[in-house]
Amino acid sequence: MFGGFQVVTLQDLSAPPDVSGKGLRSGAVGLVSSVVIGMASTAPAYSFAATLGFIVLAGVGVKAPAVMLLAFVPMACIAVAYREFNRVEPDCGTSFTWITRVFGPKLGWLSGWAAMAAQVLVMASQAEVAGRYSLLLFGADELASNRLAVTAVGVVWIVALTYLCYRGIELSAKVQFVLLVVELVVLLGFAVAALWQVATGTAGPQAIRPEWDWLLPTDVPAGGFVSALLLAVFVYWGWESSASINEESHDPQETPGRAILISTVLLVTNYVFVTVAVVSYAGVGDTGIGLANEANADDVLADDGPEIFGAGPVGTIGALLLVVSVLTSAAATTQTTILPAARSSLSMASHGAIPEVFARVHPRFRSPSVSTWTVGGASIAVYLMFSVVSTSVLGDSVDAVGLLIAFYYGLLGLACPWFFRRTLFSGARAFLLRGLVPGFGGVVLLAAFFLALREYSDPDYGMTSVAGIGTVAVIGVAGLLLGVPL
């Protein structure tokens, strides 16, 4: 016993658990719903809008599509690790449970903490976007620049979506389907309109005709490559939500793994296509709508949308739909961030790693009631804290999330070949999919973690600094280290 509750040991997890043992609703989610939740968790429109400008600013220029492709490689490797682990132990704790089985309770706990810390941190940024775009949707442009108004609406969004998650996985999945369809249709329409104008010569002098060379990682400046890669990793982050609902899926050993792989392939196709379109239309200059213009970096869709759709009724409708797309994206990902965070907490509690109260499941809705509301409350507290301190700190928190992602994804990648070490050489499939591929992804992401940490520590990196250290590094390291005494 420690601190009033039992500490989990490796022996406690020596046998795969009964997936019905935690009280969740088994068989509630099929393959399509799992794919939808995995894709919606990444928030394609929101993540793209908030990240592409900073990727270009890192110095990669027109090679941004290549960075998107490169970031997909370690993501795909970790997706394979998730699938292989899920086949033998479909536990909603995912990285916490699996890393504990391999590396022991301390690293397992820390990985689970890193995942939840990343989810709570990113929800503050998501709520900010949802609040601002809600006001823009109703034409309240002045209020959209008002800190108090945006924060108030953002908090309302967190409360509403926490309640939706509390009502159960089936309702959440249905809402996610609608939000994701709206988001993707508008985002792809935006990209097609941009490429059409480039092809017809109506895009303006800043436009660049796309080239196949943009997809090749050649001549990429070494200076900002690591930070650009980690930013792109953040764009893909979230697909593991499909694994977090494994105990509520049809065929829990196979469906989540298939959903993860399908989600990642669909995401890379979408991101590369839209990146090529926006780079081609806006260019990589540092003036006007150029992607290297720091004034546009935090939301490239908001700055390029009016230019692409133009004036008149069609332009007005297009700009409105773009606002709706980013709003639904922020709302969808806030909801699908609460889902896995609550289930990680539930799993940790059911294994005795945190107080048992977090393992409570609502008897009617079959959702982790205490964990869900705790995640929502923690997200509101972090959001309010960052809003009071500075919006710049809120912006730096997005970069800091990349450090936490690289940490626990990297650990999971290395855990996979060690977990399957006894059967690793039983055949080519086992060696490739349980050893080489996950191990490579783990090494790449942990290397990116340490390299990026060094870069983020520079006081000139990001929007602010603390005691001569970049705030991005401070938030990332503080978020991780807070789990040590706990």
Per-residue pLDDT of the chain (486 residues; tens, 9 = 90+): 333 333 334 334 444 444 446 778 787 788 888 888 888 888 788 788 878 888 888 888 889 999 999 888 998 999 999 999 998 888 888 899 999 999 999 999 999 999 988 888 888 888 888 888 899 888 888 898 888 999 999 999 999 999 988 988 877 778 888 888 888 888 888 899 899 999 998 888 888 999 999 998 887 766 667 778 777 877 888 778 888 888 888 888 888 888 888 988 888 999 999 999 999 998 888 888 888 888 777 777 776 777 777 767 777 787 788 888 888 888 877 877 888 889 989 889 888 888 989 989 988 888 899 999 999 999 999 889 888 776 666 667 777 888 888 899 999 999 999 999 999 999 999 999 999 999 999 999 999 888 888 888 888 776 777 778 888 888 888 888 888 887
Task: Read off the DSSP letter of residue 427.
Answer: -
Q: Which pLDDT does position 218 carry in this prediction?
A: 80
Q: Which pLDDT does position 165 carry in this prediction?
A: 87
Q: Which pLDDT does position 431 carry in this prediction?
A: 95
CA pair distance 101, 7, nearest whole angstrom: 14
Three-state SS at 242: helix
Rounded to the nearest 5 degrees, what angle is found at the Cα of 414, between the Cα atoms of 413 and 420? 95
Question: In the numeric block, which tokens belong to residue 357?
Answer: 């109260």
CA pair distance 311, 372, nearest whole angstrom: 44
CA pair distance 304, 52, nearest whole angstrom: 12
39 CB burial (10 A radius; 0-12, 13-18, 19+): buried
Dmax of the chain from CA atoms? Answer: 70
Q: Which pLDDT does position 184 carry in this prediction?
A: 87
Q: Find residue 470's DSSP bridge partners.
A: 465
Helix residue ranges, H only, 26-146: 31-42, 44-55, 64-88, 95-103, 105-137
Q: Which pLDDT does position 462 carry in this prediction?
A: 67
Q: How many CA atoms lie within 13 A of 246 on its CB side?
A: 32
Q: Which pLDDT does position 212 carry in this prediction?
A: 92
Which residue matches tokens 């500490």? 7
Which residue matches tokens 């290397």? 447
Q: What is the pTM of this model?
A: 0.84
| Pair 90, 254: CB distance under 8 Å | no
